Amino acid sequence: MKRAMKPQLSLGLTAVLVGTSLAPALAAKRASSLPGYETAEIRNTGSTNTMGYRIVVPIAGSHTGTAAIFHMNGMVTAGDPDEGNVPMPLVRKFARDLHAAMPLRQLPAGHGMKSASFGTSTFITYRGQRTPDLSFPANAHAQALRDDAIAIADALHVKNTPRRPALPLPPSLPGH
């Protein structure tokens, strides 16, 4: 008598992710497609002189606290993600502050002066909503999220790094 086999597709995918050394980064990168994962993304745009970054922080699920770090060159991700650990008390505070600030799209936008060459913008995306630029927080919720974004970046040793200088062009050939 043959036994009917039940497909275990979702369990197999989870096992593959958990069984690889890249599991935390892959889980953070693909968290939106896996049930049971909830992530928030911190995005710093960089500036004329510095590269930006994206930090994807799982705040619920089995990889909570393991963040995927993407270095950005303009709007393009530069290479594969790195990974790092965010202290659990900070992840819990970040989650509380996110929930308290909802709906994020209704946070008031702050205003201030920024350098044309060194000014950056920082946004947080969570549950399909994005904050205004948190560089100049306009209320206590925005300030708490800004402080969390800075603390998470600091915990992961992520900074705006200088852009690589462009290579000089070769000299023109005579007649061209």
Q: What is the pLDDT of residues 89-130, one digit of tens each?
A: 999 999 999 999 999 999 999 988 887 777 899 999 999 999
Number of domains in the chain: 1
Please report, rounded to a whole number, the percentage of residues in the chain having pLDDT higher than 90.
34
State residue 64's pLDDT score: 64
Residue 128 lies in a domain: yes
Cis previous bond, 103, omega within 30: yes
**Domain range enclosing 32:** 22-110+120-155
- Reading the block at residue 132, the tokens are 């205004």
pTM value is 0.69
Looking at per-residue pLDDT, the higher value among 117 and 87 belongs to: 87
Q: Is residue 169 part of a domain?
A: no
Whether 32 maps to a domain, the answer reads yes
50 or 9: which carries more pLDDT confidence? 50
Judge contact between 35 and 14, C-beta under 8 A.
Answer: no
Mean pLDDT to the nearest integer, 145-163:
88
Domain membership of residue 175 (yes or no) is: no
Cα–Cα distance for residue pair 40/61, rounded to 1 Å: 12
DSSP letter, residue 162: B
Q: Among 14-23, 48-57, 90-99, 129-138, where is mean pLDDT lowest?
A: 14-23
Q: What is the mean pLDDT of the chain?
A: 73
Residue 171 lies in a domain: no
